[in-house]
Chain A
Amino acid sequence: MFNHYFRYCLFITLFIFFSSLLIITSNYCIDKYNIFTDPDYLNAKVSINDRVLKFNKFSPRCREFEAIVFGTSRSVMYHTTFIHEQYGLKAYNFGVSAESFHGILRKLQWIIKNHCKPKTIFIPLNADQLLYMTDFSLPPYILNRMDPPDIVTLKGYKSIFYLTYVFSLPTTKSNLLFLFKDSQEPIRIKYNFLTGDTQYLWDEEFAIDGCPVKIENNKKNLKQAINILQEIKKIADKSGIDIVLLWNPLPIDYQVGNEQILLFLELIGPLFHFINRIPLEDHRLKDSRYYYDRNHFKESLAKDVLLLTNKINISLLIEEIRLHQSACKNARLSDQPGIAPRILNPLQP
């Protein structure tokens, strides 16, 4: 009965079982991110599942908030204090890493269903929005990427979330580093889950070209994006919620680098009419000091986007982009500059 094959299998099974137990126990005890105790404020070295943690904090208090900011990791820069200063509304920032329109729709549906009734929602748009409608290239270390409104329909989603947290390689690695050399590792993100505000603590240097390498023209995801935005607008109108569109102040070459975004803006123009943006001739859009990295702008730019003086008709934004694009095309025709490389970032915004 107990031949060497049997002993081999038994050893592997017991090894996995007891090691797993040890890992789960130690991750639970160390719990560097205070997930099991108090995750209101979190100083993290990696991006963690901000969806679940924000949702957990937001859901019991959702009726307190008069405004909600949706969007990607870029949108977390629209701090709730800025919203209060400019609009006098108590806001929650629900910006999460790599957010999609579908994610916004699902969250809004949940909010309506649970009678939370904010007066205003802010939807920041990105010039490269159409690139990020899918999530197949998400980095694997971000735990459990499903949107909470989707996973709460699963029985015991919290247990799934906590189990994946205590039994995962990134958590184990992070906790081990915490035990042995924590002080060596710089903190990269500070979360405040009570308001949803986030601070980034990195600062990369990079060059901003005045013009994009190439004006892209990719129709992918356009139809899908418009359909979801129409649905969001329909739900908001029905519930008496105002929508404020924000045009994220990305580096200028990003803002004008896509032909299809013009079509996208043209299609949403009749739906929303207005958008807040920083004028494209603003020098800060070419200055990397106003950015954490190529994908993430700083608070000072975000604050200015919210200014009422920066609210314009969408058709004017289209005009600004078009003018800038043609200036770039003319410049290229006249002096044929060398082709500058575009820096790729494997992490989506």
Chain B
Amino acid sequence: MLFNSFSFILFFLPVTLLGFYFIGKRYNHRLGIYWLVGASLFFYGWWNPVYLCLLLTSILLNYAVGVLLGAKPSKPILFLGISGNLGLIGYFKYANFFIDNINVVFQSDIILRQIVLPLGISFFIFQQISFLIDTYRGETKRLNLLHYSLFVSFFPKLIAGPIVQCKEMLPQFVRNTLHKNISEYFAIGLTFFFIGLFKKAIIADGIAIHATPVFNAAEQGIALTFFEAWGGALAYSLQLYFDFSGYSEMAFGIASMFGIVLPINFDSPYKAVNIADFWRRWHMTLSRFLKNYLYIPLGGNKKGTTRHYLNLMITMLIGGLWHGAGWSFVLWGGLHGVYLCISHMWGRMKKKIFKTKNQPSNRYSRTAGRLLTFFAVAIAWVLFRSESIEGARNMYHGMLGMNGFSLPTQLDFMIDALRSFFPDTYIVAHGLRSFGYVRGVFKLFLLLIIVWIMPNTYDLMKSGGTSLNLELLNYRTSLIIHWKEWHPSTTWAFTIGMIALLSLLSLTHVSEFLYFQF
């Protein structure tokens, strides 16, 4: 069941909310939590009931290991728990990839039956690994099976994150004010949900028609010209941005309706001034996981420069592989690792030579840093999106202008001038019209302006909801232009109502969230 489907919006969500508040108020809080766990399991089982058993088994086994670790921290038990989780994800997500590579290297013909990837497995496995490690470190309080089940299966974040930690969720589950201030929870939740739905249904799906045909063409080996390839790459960068941002806000909004605050997962990443800043803003809870449970245990930046760069590379390669079983994901992670190493080298050099910090100090250097980071990220997304290395190579060929340039017919008058500047390059002015070039470019510019200078939803909402303790999010503002903050007024209600209506009208074509595949 997708958040952006009528069955979810009109049936599942209202019924779950009504049941939760009715049971919680009429009977007791604990029964309400039971209802929520039941609804979450139903939500997961809707997709494929068979894999519900997998989720339940995983919950029970991890809980048992957690109880053992809580009673007596033991490295072998922790190792066993982590290995079990990695084995599960390894089988479902990476077995076919591994076999394919064996076949290529040894010219063998081993065939493994097609394994269907259980939805959200990467997320619920990582959450449980973090639970086991935190329990071993003594950072998690003892919790019962009911709360643990909700921690793993809570449906707003079950399928595509955020990757939550036990210590940030448990206090909220046991809070006895969960069934109070309902209208406030709803007001905030509805606002987040509909803004997220708008981003997904209108913006992300709207820009996808400019990205998908270009990447499909590259996969088929069609020679893409410069503007076509860049148009596709930028369109995909924006599609993914609004898709993930939309999903994150919908998840946040749905959780808020239950009085639960999820950690922020997405903080205007294209406003990042360098690549490290980007990873502090994009999929923040994955970055936190990789940092706390991989990068720091590897030694972080405390074991010398070379080791620091090596740790960065390992972390990013594993981060890449987490996103998908394919060499293009590994390369994507590796490219980001290289970016991070360069960024750190540059920082060290600046510190040494200019005696300044790595953070850009004035508006111009911040703008330059932002542009450089954005284009570096967009170039890397090509690997992320391409179905094969060959497809990515074709895209890069086009982006480097190796297949020539074609311009829209509206720019006919520029052809002679361009040809005199680039005499050896093939330049024509008849292409791209059927690609919807002018409309596509207009959309791209508009969306780039939105992501670079507009406030994000958390900026708008940070003053709202005292009962929800939104200030606990420890959200740092990234306002570039100032905007009137949200409050429950008629103007805001009308705006959100309009946004909601437009989004609902666009749900006739339901598409999956891009992050569901991970």
Contact = CB atoms under 8 A, between A and B. Distances in A.
B is bound to A: yes
A216 B194 CA distance: 44
Interface in A1-27: 3-9, 11-12, 15-16, 19-20, 23
B360 interface: no
Contacts of A230: none
A140 B505 CA distance: 12
A3 B208 CA distance: 41
B436 A346 contact: yes
Interface in A298-349: 338-346
Nearest to A168: B508
A214 interface: yes
A345 B435 contact: yes
A131 B509 contact: no
Interface in B489-503: 489-490, 492-494, 496-498, 500-502
A18 B214 CA distance: 40
Interface stretch (A60-68, A107-115, A141-149, A193-201): A141-149
Contacts of A29: none
Contacts of B223: 213-214, 339, 341-342
A217 interface: yes
A217 B221 contact: yes
A27 B220 CA distance: 41
A164 B508 CA distance: 6
Interface string A185-223: 000000000000000000010110000011011101000
Nearest to B211: A137
A169 B506 contact: yes
Q: B interface, by DSSP: helix, strand, loop or mixed?
A: helix
B102 to A, nearest CB: 20
Given A169-B505, A220-B219, A341 B436 contact: no
A343 B435 contact: yes
B200 to A, nearest CB: 12
A218 B489 contact: no
A204 B435 CA distance: 13
Contact of A5 (B187, B225, B511): B187
Given A169-B502, A341-B225, A11 B490 contact: yes
B137 to A, nearest CB: 39
B219 A143 contact: no
Contacts of B501: 15-16, 19-20, 23
Contacts of A338: 404, 426
Contacts of B404: 338-341
Contact of B187 (A9, A15, A137, A172): A9
9 pairs of A and B residues whose beta carbons are closest in the complex: A15-B497, A8-B488, A137-B212, A140-B509, A341-B406, A11-B493, A216-B221, A6-B183, A5-B183
Given A16-B504, A341-B403, 18 more contacts: A4-B488, A5-B184, A5-B187, A8-B492, A11-B490, A12-B497, A16-B497, A20-B501, A138-B509, A140-B508, A141-B509, A144-B508, A168-B508, A206-B434, A213-B223, A216-B222, A344-B222, A346-B434
